[in-house]
């Protein structure tokens, strides 16, 4: 399968946000990051069977912007908003009818830790807005994936 991890785009300084963390939206910078990624993925004819996002606003907004470019509906899964491990990801995938090419949109430190665990690497930090493609078999297991892409947001230039 092709498992894609997308860490939500930039959402500003969490210490400067006065509302509930789950309601923190993308910043203008984050919207631009998500837009550039969506344009890039559409431009290379990227295909996904499903896009599944954390319900936290910044992740859901990132997912919707990218999905608009791909023509793929977005579903929410509460498990992507909390602490994740390989078993939780397996449950998310099973709950989505086991897609072969899926994009999960969520948060750190979980996504960086999942990427490192799947690819048997000591550390694979995922900055905000980073997109990773991992080729792996199911069931997911430590070291069972091969990192194929790691696209940080600053690798995608603005059209301006």
Domain extents for the chain?
A: 2-12+19-155
- Tokens representing 157 are 């230039």
**Residues 75-122: tens digit of each pLDDT:** 999 999 989 999 999 999 999 999 999 999 999 999 999 999 999 988
% of the chain beyond a pLDDT of 90: 87
Question: What's domain 2-12+19-155's superfamily in CATH?
Answer: Phosphoglycerate mutase-like (3.40.50.1240)
- H or E element at residue 58: helix 57-70
- H or E element at residue 131: strand 131-136
């Amino acid at each position: 399968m092709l498992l894609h991890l997308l860490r939500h785009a930039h959402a500003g300084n969490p210490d400067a946000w006065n509302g509930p963390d789950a309601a923190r939206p993308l910043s203008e910078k984050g919207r631009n990051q998500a837009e550039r990624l969506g344009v890039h993925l559409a431009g290379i004819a990227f295909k996904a069977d499903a896009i599944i996002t954390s319900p936290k606003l910044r992740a859901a907004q990132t997912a919707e912007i990218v999905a608009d470019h791909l023509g793929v509906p977005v579903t929410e899964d509460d498990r992507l908003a909390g602490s994740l491990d390989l078993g939780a990801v397996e449950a998310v995938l099973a709950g989505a009818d086991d897609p072969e090419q899926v994009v999960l949109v969520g948060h750190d430190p979980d996504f960086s830790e999942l990427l490192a665990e799947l690819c048997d690497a000591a550390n694979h930090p995922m900055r905000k807005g980073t997109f990773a493609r991992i080729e792996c078999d199911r069931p997911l297991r430590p070291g069972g994936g091969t990192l194929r892409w790691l696209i940080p947001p600053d690798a995608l230039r603005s059209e301006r």
